[in-house]
Amino acid sequence: MQTHQSSAAPGPQSPRTTGLTRRVRLGLLAVIGFLVLLGASLAMEHVAEAGAEWLTATLGEHGIAALVTATVITGLTLLVLLGLAEVVLRIVHGRRLQDEVHHHFLKYGWLDLALGAAIAAIAIGAVFGIELVAGWLQVESWAWIEVGLGDWLSAAYLAVLTVAAAAVMEEIMVRSCLLSAIAQAWGKSIGLAVMAMCYGLLLAIEGGVGEPGWLASVTLRTLPAMLLGWLFLRTHSPWMPTGLHFAWVILQEHIFNLAGEESAHLFGALTRQEGPLWFVGGKRGMETGAAGILALAIAWALAWWWTRAKAPRAHSD
């Protein structure tokens, strides 16, 4: 007796399976896009160094020439990375970068930037005040007293230019291109975890791997990125995290000088750090000490209160 085995064509995938496949694809594309942007940013660092050396040799290294060199190199680097981010956003999200920026900025741009900066000012100002009162930070002078007006303005301009460019590039690479897609594909909690690991990779590439306590240092320095990521997801906008990021760095490093170090871009307090390492942090910054934890707690509490009680546009977690 001969049996006939019927072969049936496989039916269409269920909506659940199709949705899962799309989420996996979206998450993987986001990670790949981030790695592309990371590689491009590292390559641009070398190109920028070579370009800066050439411009310095051509224009000079002092006065207006130095400002022109820094502006041109920073601007070109930012334009290249923004162009690549545009490609990544189109592939991963199907959106244009300029449309996203235009949409969010028209709604709440300047207000969110100012609010983010105000939150950082309160948090960093609190740490500055505590260290002053405790005698852990000595203000020996102020930059505008020690240097001429021209040098002071140059230092202020270069600091603002450098920090603003870094804040914009990080918010686009880490939050807008990576976190938003991962959160959409795999959920907010997984999105924040993946973003933290990728940001930790950035910190590890900067150096410090193999030094005593490097893993704890990288972990603690990743916490501010977690705060910015949480705020990005909560407000559905890059502007408040960008304002907080910019003010956090400019106040800590260039105005209050919490590390007590000399810097060519310092235009605020000339300080001497005498506090215990467990509070003030090590050479990597206050984020590796209790001061960073305290500042983050203050910033998170203020951001949570504002987005919950004052900003009806924010969505609850």
Specify whether the CB–CB gap between 299 and 119 falls below 8 A: yes
**Residues 6+ positions from 157 with CB-CB distance below 8 Å:** 67
Calpha distance 286→288 (Å, rounded)? 5
| pLDDT at 314 (0 to 100) | 44
pLDDT tens digits for 204-229?
Answer: 777 655 565 677 778 888 999 999 99
Residue of 204, 225, 286 whose CA lies nearest to 251: 286
- Does pLDDT of 316 surpass 50? no
d(CA 62, CA 67): 8
| Per-residue pLDDT tens digits for 102-160 | 655 556 678 889 999 999 999 999 999 999 999 999 999 999 888 888 889 998 999 99
Provide the pLDDT confidence category of residue 249 given band limits of 50, 70 and 90.
Answer: very high
Of 317, 155, 302, the residue nearest 236 (C-alpha): 317
Mean pLDDT of 67-79: 90
Residue with tokens 């040799």: 57
- Number of neighbouring beta carbons within 10 Å of residue 128: 24
| Residue bearing tokens 């956003």 | 89
- Considering only residues 110 and 250, tell me which one the structure prediction assigns the higher pLDDT: 250
Going by pLDDT thresholds of 50, 70 and 90, the confidence category of residue 240 is: very high
Q: What is the reported pLDDT for 105?
A: 57
The per-residue DSSP string of the chain comes to -------PPPPPPPHHHHHHHHHHHHHHHHHHHHHHHHHHHHHHHHHHHHHHHHHHHHH-SSTHHHHHHHHHHHHHHHHHHHHHHHHHHHHHTS--HHHHHHHHHHHHHHHHHHHHHHHHHHHHHHHHHHHHHHTSEEEEEEHHHHS-HHHHHHHHHHHHHHHHHHHHHHIIIIIIIIIHHHHHHH-HHHHHHHHHHHHHHHHHHHS-TTSTTHHHHHHHHHHHHHHHHHHHHHHTSSHHHHHHHHHHHIIIIIIS-TT----TT--SEEEEE-S-HHHH-BTTBGGGSHHHHHHHHHHHHHHHHIIIII-TTSPP-
Find residue 137's DSSP bridge partners.
273
4 or 257: whose pLDDT is higher? 257
pLDDT at 311: 47
Q: For 48-52, 165-169, 312-316, which range has the lowest pLDDT when averaged over its residues?
A: 312-316
Higher pLDDT, residue 221 or 7: 221
In this predicted structure, what is the pLDDT of residue 171?
A: 86
279-311 pLDDT, tens digit each: 998 777 899 899 999 999 999 999 999 988 654
Is the pLDDT at 263 greater than 80, yes or no? no
Q: Which is more confident, 241 or 147?
A: 241
pLDDT (0 to 100) of residue 107: 62
Higher pLDDT, 187 or 203: 187
The domain segmentation of the chain, as residue ranges, is: 106-310
| φ/ψ of residue 37, rounded to 5 | -65, -40
Q: What percent of the chain has pLDDT over 90?
A: 33
- Residue 211 region, left (φ>0) first, then alpha (ψ -120 to 50), else beta? beta
Q: Is the predicted pLDDT of residue 313 greater than 50, yes or no?
A: no
Say which amino acid occupies 15.
Answer: P
The answer on pLDDT for 184 being more than 80 is yes
Chain-centroid distance, C-alpha 233 = 14
